[in-house]
Amino acid sequence: MIDIRTPSPLDVEAAAERIAGLVRPVTVMAAGPEYGLGAEIFLALEFMQHTGSFQARGAANLFAAMLAAGTMPDAGIVSTTDHNADIGFAWAARLFGIPTTVFLAESATPARADRLRGLGARVRIGGWTQDQANDNASRFTARTGAIDAHTFDDNLTSAGAGTLLLECLTAIPKLDTIVLAVGAGGLFPGVTAVAAGRGIRVVGAEPDGSRAPHALSSARARAADVRTFVVEDDAIGLARRSLWEGYRMVVEHDAATALAVLTTGAYRPSKGERVGVILCGANTDPADLGAWIDTRAIGDVPDGAVAQSQTDWVA
């Protein structure tokens, strides 16, 4: 597991200058009263970003900084995450004219491989598992001099991701709290870097069974007020479904984790609290929303859907 470092506020501001005009500014909208319980809830629609996730920000910042410093090898970059980062790196590499090779396991869906090829990446499929694909990528980088974009400089990718909160602050004056999913890709460390010193509470949401101690430890070191909660799968699915029913928005399962912290009551904002909720990705199949259509009313919480607060750091 990569130990993602937390960038400084200056790192994030520099990233914002590098990627201005390259990424889409986040769209923010006010949510209805169904999520707020007296608070003011705003949805940051980052799933409308290039590539369908925030990963485009970090990739663009990483590559722009490397090209400016003259550290980008002629062989280009390799990506082997089997997640949204592959798509973000391929998109940014095409933007800058950087050769890209993505390694996938044989279990990868044809749709993912086709999308990467459509972004100009060379896709190599081999190995029954992603670990075996990673081994293939390691041999390739050793032979060609290409760099693994995911591990090369996590500080730059995190700083790029953190630009999302800078934009939220412009769109939501007097923001009190930002809620987001905790995971890989540097979003949580980047956001906490911006929140630190601004008096903004950071609420992290994790799916049950997934832990991100690398991101959490970085946040703890940087931000004064960080709270994290674990939410069960059923609750996340219901939150995702509520976005479709109420707003005709389709986000990926992990992205709905942030909203589930509110719909389950795991985090209860105070009356009048101004809360931003980052919906960070939409790389999903809309057809699987049907799995959440049943006799339960939208907003009902399955028994045991909410775990206790995992961590509560307040300086």
The string of pLDDT tens digits covering residues 98-142 is 999 999 988 888 888 999 999 999 999 988 888 888 899 999 999
For residues 29 and 170, state if they share a domain. yes
Three-state secondary structure string covering 8-42: CHHHHHHHHHHHCCCCCCCCEEECCCCCCCCCEEE
Residue after which a domain boundary falls, among 102, 132, 152: 152
Residue after which a domain boundary falls, among 129, 152, 175: 152
Number of structural domains found in the chain: 2
- The CATH number linked to 93 is 3.40.50.1100
Contact 80, 150 (CB under 8 A): yes
Is 148 within the bounds of a domain?
A: yes
pTM of the model: 0.85
For residues 286 and 237, state if they share a domain. yes
For residues 177 and 296, state if they share a domain. yes
Q: Residues of 123-159 as b/e, b for ≥16 C-beta within 10 angstroms?
A: bbeebeebeebbebbeebbeeeebbbbbeebbbbbbb
For residues 214 and 264, state if they share a domain. yes
For the stretch 167-198, pLDDT in tens is 999 999 999 999 999 976 689 999 999 998 89
- The residue range of the domain holding 68 is 56-152
For residues 146 and 203, state if they share a domain. no
Per-residue confidence (pLDDT) for residue 222, from 0 to 100: 53
Per-residue confidence (pLDDT) for residue 301, from 0 to 100: 39
Three-class SS of residue 158? helix
Average pLDDT over residues 291-299: 44
Q: Can you tell me the distance from the alpha carbon of 303 to that of 297, in angstroms, rounded to the nearest whole number?
A: 14
Is 101 within the bounds of a domain?
A: yes
Per-residue confidence (pLDDT) for residue 129, from 0 to 100: 87
For residues 40 and 121, state if they share a domain. no
Three-class SS of residue 212? coil
For residues 68 and 145, state if they share a domain. yes
For residues 140 and 198, state if they share a domain. no
For the stretch 52-100, pLDDT in tens is 999 999 999 999 999 999 999 999 999 987 788 899 999 999 999 999 9
Q: Can you tell me the distance from the alpha carbon of 161 to that of 16, in angstroms, rounded to the nearest whole number?
A: 9
Residue after which a domain boundary falls, among 104, 124, 152: 152
For residues 142 and 227, state if they share a domain. no
For residues 233 and 307, state if they share a domain. yes
